[in-house]
Structure 1
Amino acid sequence: MKNAICLFSLLILLFGCTPSELSYSEVKPDTVNNDVKEFVTSVEDTNGIHFYEADKNTKYIFFNEYLVEQGKEAHYFEDIEISGEGQILTISFTEHATAEYANKSITNRLLYEVKTDKDYESVKLLKNGEEIALKVVSGSGK
C-alpha cells in the first residue's frame, strides 16, 4: 500500500509539474481557416507585422514587407523566434534589406501559427533586437 501511494505521488509530480508547451511554425495562407485567410487578405496591402488571435491558444503572425516603393530597398525576414516568459509572448526576428527585387528567395511575406500554452497579457515584438509595435492586432472573438 505504501509503495502504491509513493508511485501515485511520483506520477502526480511527473505529470502535474510538466511544463506546458508553446510551439510555432510557418504555414501557408491557403492551409488556414477562412477567418485567418480573410485577416491576411485584409492586411496584405499594409507592410508590417500583423497579429491575429484565432482562439485562446492559437495565434497567427503575418510578417509582410511585400510592397516596395520604387527606388527603395526590399525588406525580408529571417531568424524568427517565438517564446513565452511569464505573462509576455515575445516574437523576435531579423529584418534585412536588399536592392535585388527580383530575388525570389527573399522571404518578405510569412505567416506563422503559434500554439500557446496559456494566456499571455502582452506581446513583445523585437526587430533586430529593438522593440517595435505591431501594425495590426485582430481576433476572431472566440
Structure 2
Amino acid sequence: MKQLLVMVLCAALLIGCNTNRTLSYEEVTMKDLDKGDQVFYQHAQAENGVYLFYDTSDDKLVIYFNTSHENQEDYAVDFTNFDVESDGDTLHILYDKNQDEGESKTFQEQQFYEVQLDKEYETIELFENGDMAAFTSIYS
C-alpha cells in the first residue's frame, strides 16, 4: 500500500512539474493588454524608444515600440522582423528599425509584442538591426 501511495505521489509531482511552456510571442494592440500592462504603457508613452515590461506573475514580457514623438514630416520609422531567441540563460530580443526618408510616409506610432517565457532568464539582451542596443526603460 505504501509503494502505491509513493508511486501516485511521484507521478503527481512529475505531472505537476511538467508545464510544457514554450518561448513564443505575438503582436498585440493596446486594448489587448491587461490593466496592469496598460499602467506601464501610460508611463512609457512620454518619449520615443523601446520599453520592456516584465510581468513576473504571468512569466511574460511586453515589448513596446514608441515612435509617436518622431517628426513625421522628415521620415517614417518602422519596426520589423521582431523575434525572440533563447541561448541558455540569456533571452535575445531582435528587431530591425527602418527609417524611410523617401516618398512613402507609412508610420506606425506604436507596436506591442507580448512574449510568453518558457523559463526564467538571467539576462535579456536587445538587438537592433543586429547590433546590441539598450531599452529606453524597464518596468516590472
Instruction: Work out whether residues 74 and 101 of structure 1, in 8 Å CA contact, stay in contact via their aligned partners in 2.
Output: no
Cross-structure match for 1:126: 127
Cross-structure match for 1:23: 24
Cross-structure match for 2:138: 137
Helix, strand or coil: the match of 1:107? coil
Read off the aligned partner of 1:96 and give its amino acid letter: N
Cross-structure match for 2:55: 54
Q: Which segments of 5 or more consecutive residues in structure 2 lack a partner in the other structure?
A: 1-14
Shift of 1:114: 0.6
With over 3 angstroms needed to count, the CA separation of the structure-2 counterparts of 1:137 and 1:70, relative to structure 1, is same
Instruction: Work out whether residues 78 and 107 of structure 1, in 8 Å CA contact, stay in contact via their aligned partners in 2.
Output: no
TM-score (norm: length of structure 2): 0.77
Shift of 1:131: 0.2
Q: Kindly report the root-mean-square deviation, in angstroms, between the aligned alpha carbons of the 2 structures.
A: 2.5
Identical amino acids, percent of aligned pairs:
23
With over 3 angstroms needed to count, the CA separation of the structure-2 counterparts of 1:71 and 1:27, relative to structure 1, is closer
Cross-structure match for 1:73: 75
Cross-structure match for 2:3: none
Instruction: Work out whether residues 25 and 112 of structure 1, in 8 Å CA contact, stay in contact via their aligned partners in 2.
Output: yes
Alignment of 1:3-18 (within 5 A): none
With over 3 angstroms needed to count, the CA separation of the structure-2 counterparts of 1:100 and 1:30, relative to structure 1, is farther
Shift of 1:75: 1.4
Residue 74 (structure 2) pairs with residue 40 (structure 1): no
Helix, strand or coil: the match of 1:119? coil
CA distance in 2, matches of 1:72, 1:92: 26
CA distance in 2, matches of 1:18, 1:116: 12
